[in-house]
Amino acid sequence: MNQIVEKVLFSEKVAKFVVEAPRIARSRKPGHFVILRVDEKGERIPLTIAGADPVKGTIVLVVQKVGVSSAKLFELNVGDSILDLVGPLGKATEIHHVGTVLACGGGVGVAPMLPIVEGFKKAGNRVISVLAARNKDLIILEDEVRQWSDEVIIMTDDGSYGTKGVVTVGAESVIQREPINECIAIGPAVMMKFTSLLTKKYNIPTQASLNAIMVDGTGMCGACRVSVGGNTYFTCVDGPEFDAHQIDFDELIMRLGGYSSEEKIAWERYQ
Q: Which residues bind another protein (CB under 8 A)?
A: 23-24, 27, 37, 41-44, 68-69, 72, 83-89, 215-216, 218-223, 225, 227, 232, 234, 237, 251, 254-255, 257-259, 262-263, 266, 269
Instruction: Extract the runs of DSSP E, i.e. beta strands, from the chain.
Output: 4-9, 14-20, 33-37, 45-48, 51-53, 58-64, 84-89, 100-106, 126-133, 151-156, 163-164, 182-186, 206-209, 225-228, 231-234, 241-243
Residue nearer to another protein on the CB measure, 70 or 125: 70
Residue nearer to another protein on the CB measure, 166 or 237: 237
Residue nearer to another protein on the CB measure, 29 or 134: 29
Cα–chain center distance at 250? 19
Residue nearer to another protein on the CB measure, 9 or 254: 254
Measured distance CA(44)–CA(35) in Å, rounded: 6
Q: Minimum Å distance from CB 270 to another protein?
A: 8
Alpha-carbon torsion, ordered 175, 184, 192, 216, to 10 deg: 180
Residue nearer to another protein on the CB measure, 70 or 156: 70
Q: Minimum Å distance from CB 76 to another protein?
A: 15
Residue nearer to another protein on the CB measure, 37 or 121: 37
Q: Minimum Å distance from CB 250 to another protein?
A: 9
Q: Minimum Å distance from CB 32 to another protein?
A: 9
Q: Which of 6, 54, 12, 1 is nearest to 29 (CA)?
A: 54
Q: Minimum Å distance from CB 259 to another protein?
A: 5
Query: Hey, how many other C-beta atoms are within 10 angstroms of the C-beta on 254?
Result: 11
Q: Minimum Å distance from CB 131 to another protein?
A: 30
Measured distance CA(167)–CA(132) in Å, rounded: 5
Q: Is 250 exposed, middle or buried (0-12, 13-18, 19+ CB in 10 A)?
A: exposed
